[in-house]
Amino acid sequence: MEKIKLYDTTLRDGMQAEGVSFSLEDKLAIARCLDELGVDYIEGGYAASNPKEMQFFAEAANLGLKNSKIVAFGSTRRTDRSVADDVSLNAILDCKTPTATLVGKTWDMHVTTVLGCSLDDNLKICAESIEFLKSKGIETIFDAEHFYDGCKNNPEYAMKVLAAAANAGADVLVLCDTNGGSLPNEIYEITKAVCAEFSQMVVGVHTHNDTDCATANALSAVRAGARHVQGTVNGLGERCGNANLCTVIPDLAFKMGFEVLSSEKIKTLTEVSRFIFEIANLAPVMNMPYVGESAFAHKAGLHVDALRKNKQTYEHIDPELIGNERRFLMSELSGRSTVLAELEKAKIVKDKKLARKILLRVQELENDGFQFEAANASFDLLVKKVMGTYKPAFELVKYHVTMEKGAAGDMVTEATVKLKVDGVTEHVVGEGDGPVNALDAALRKSLERFYPSIRDVRLIDYKVRVVNARAGTAARVRVIIESRDKSDIWGTVGVSENIIDASWQALVDSVEYKLQKDKQ
């Protein structure tokens, strides 16, 4: 199999996404994660942009990376500077990285309008900048900015820029679809022409997602001969983002037969994707191919029935290959096969009568506003209740919530919970930032003495949705709570006309699921 070099630019292009900002510690953590994944290059940032970037390169030198090269990014020299006096080039040298990426203009319009110099001067600027870094013993990647647009408008000049870079000693020529406006057929034809013209060079590709084709464009370039692919984890990037490495990597490995990462490393992709989302403080994209939580989630009863007979009927690959998992979604669209599949997954003996009984209960509850797609823990408890194997860990006597707001606007929320555990009554008060937070605190406090492992549980997400909006303030609400402990994440659901009671139902299910899980 031919090897494709993977170049990750999450720490530079990815950080240019709206709403994304990485601290120094975040960037170091991501670099360690990417090195563990096994990408060939990790672009650390624009060396001359700010002191934090320079500090990253200093700290990254001590990370002891085993698989990846740290890359410093910069631009070709300014028109009014020599290479020796150029701030960007000297900042790259200060990074002391083995590899650097230089971005240079290849679209004639950009040369004359943005740089404000002649076309011949730009050729000289690109060549001198590359020669300068190569003279310092640095592997130099040339990012041909706006190459595809430049080639469409003035192909002769765009090729001249590549020739100047190649003759100056560039190690890789990367063709950039900087505006993200090209389509796969255009990328293929232009890349194929470049690979034929520069057959002795490594050709790479860097695509943006403004037409929702970044990943397809990257794959088209590889099909045309590119052997170096740039992208970001989860497709983070400027405007609409970049080629998504979480899709590019398995596509190259499983669909196109290229060598990218070992099979064991590819199995960590789902974990890597979710780690980057968490560091970026972004909600994971549920329907992202391969690594999304919905990528192998099946809802229609017809689909589930077929999957139970042959997994290839509705799955293009085994989810375990990329560290994901198959999920069967319980809803009013589910058939008996969906329930049976869940029972099999839970290692419960097949029982068609039980499956039918569970399905009818699910449909009754969904008619009342419940939804179990994101509430796997509540569904698990429902199965146990229908089977008659459920034994509650505690018994509620009562709860009470009070809120006070002073004239100055300060608020105090308290929740009192009284419950019994094995005949022992526990009566406690908890405070919180709001009624749900206070109830959560009181519930935990009342159970910690009996079940110490409850301290490991933390609430990570809380969603509220009005079920029957036309009822106005008397409408029923559905609360979905996502919780986690040291090893698992689970969802629970509650429904009521009272948002506090709906929240209590979901909180109780979360705690009960944790305790049932610990028993098993």
Over range 443-464, report the average pLDDT: 91
Tokens at residue 410, please? 């300060």
Topology (CATH level 3) of domain 5-279: TIM Barrel (3.20.20)
Cβ atoms 100, 72 nearer than 8 A: yes
Tokens at residue 71, please? 């890359």
User: Bridge-partner residues for 140, per DSSP?
Assistant: 100
Confidence at residue 364, expressed as pLDDT on a 0 to 100 scale: 85
72-103 tens-digit pLDDT: 999 999 999 999 999 999 999 999 999 999 99
Cβ atoms 393, 515 nearer than 8 A: yes
Q: Is the pLDDT of residue 260 over 90?
A: yes
Cα separation of 351 and 423, whole Å?
35
313 Cβ contact list (under 8 Å, min separation 6): 303, 306, 307
Place of tokens 């994209």: 285
419-443 tens-digit pLDDT: 999 999 999 999 988 899 999 999 9
316-370 tens-digit pLDDT: 999 999 999 887 766 555 555 566 666 666 556 566 787 778 878 887 888 888 8
The rounded mean pLDDT for the chain is: 91
64 Ramachandran zone, left/alpha/beta (phi>0; psi -120 to 50): left
pTM of the full structure: 0.74
Over range 485-502, report the average pLDDT: 91
Domain definitions of the chain by residue range: 5-279, 297-367, 395-519
Confidence at residue 407, expressed as pLDDT on a 0 to 100 scale: 79
Which of these CATH numbers, 3.30.160.270, 3.40.50.970, 3.30.450.20, 3.40.50.1220, describes 395-519?
Answer: 3.30.160.270
On the question of a common fold for 5-279 and 395-519, the answer reads: no
